[in-house]
Amino acid sequence: MNPQFFGSNLRTARLFNELSLQELGEKVGASKQYLSRLESGVEAPSAVLEQSLATQLSVMPEFFRSPDPMPIAEEQCHFRKQLTTKVALKQVARAKGEMLKRLVSVLDAKLDLPRYSFIEADPDSVEHIESAAERSRAHWGLGLGPISNMTRVAENAGAVVLPMSGLASEIDAISFATHRPVIVTNADGRSACRTRFGLAHEVGHFCLHVGVQTGDKVSESQANRFASSFLMPRRYFVIECQKALRGSRFNWHAIADIKLRWGVSKAAILYRGRQLGVFSDDQYRSGVIKLTRHSEAIQEAEDEFIPQERAEVVSQGLSVLQETSGLTRSGIARLMCVTPKIVDDLLGGENLDLDRRNVVSLR
Tens digit of each residue's pLDDT (9 = 90 or more) over 304-313: 999 999 999 9
Q: How far is it, in rounded angstroms, from Cα 41 to Cα 47? A: 16
Q: Are 145 and 117 contained in the same domain?
A: yes
Write the secondary structure of 168-237 as one string of H (helix), E (strand) and C (coil).
Answer: CCCEEEEEECCCCCEEEEECCCCCHHHHHHHHHHHHHHHHHCCCCCCCCHHHHHHHHHHHHHHHCCHHHH
Overall average pLDDT of the 113-133 stretch: 96
> What span, in angstroms and rounded, lies between the C-alpha atoms of 81 and 83?
6
Residues 33 and 100 in one domain: no
Rounded to a whole number of angstroms, the distance between the first and last alpha carbons of the chain is 44
| Within-domain flag for 324 | no
User: Residues 248-277: pLDDT tens digits?
Assistant: 999 999 999 999 999 999 999 999 999 999
Asked if residues 58 and 341 have their Cβ atoms less than 8 Å apart, the reply is yes
47 domain residue, yes or no: yes
The range of the structural domain enclosing residue 43 comes to: 7-64
Residues 242 and 254 in one domain: yes
- What pLDDT score was predicted for residue 362? 42
User: What pLDDT score does 357 carry?
Assistant: 34
Helix (H) or strand (E) holding 47: helix 47-57
Percentage, residues of the chain above pLDDT 90: 74
Strands 182-186 and 249-250, bridge-based pairing: unpaired
Q: Do 78 and 224 belong together in one domain? A: yes
Q: Is it the case that residue 355 has pLDDT exceeding 80?
A: no
Which percentage of the chain shows pLDDT scores above 70? 91
Query: Which tens digit of pLDDT belongs to each residue from 164-217?
Result: 887 877 888 888 888 889 999 988 878 999 999 999 999 999 999 988 888 889
- Which pLDDT does position 72 carry in this prediction? 64
Do residue 227 and residue 238 come from a single domain?
no
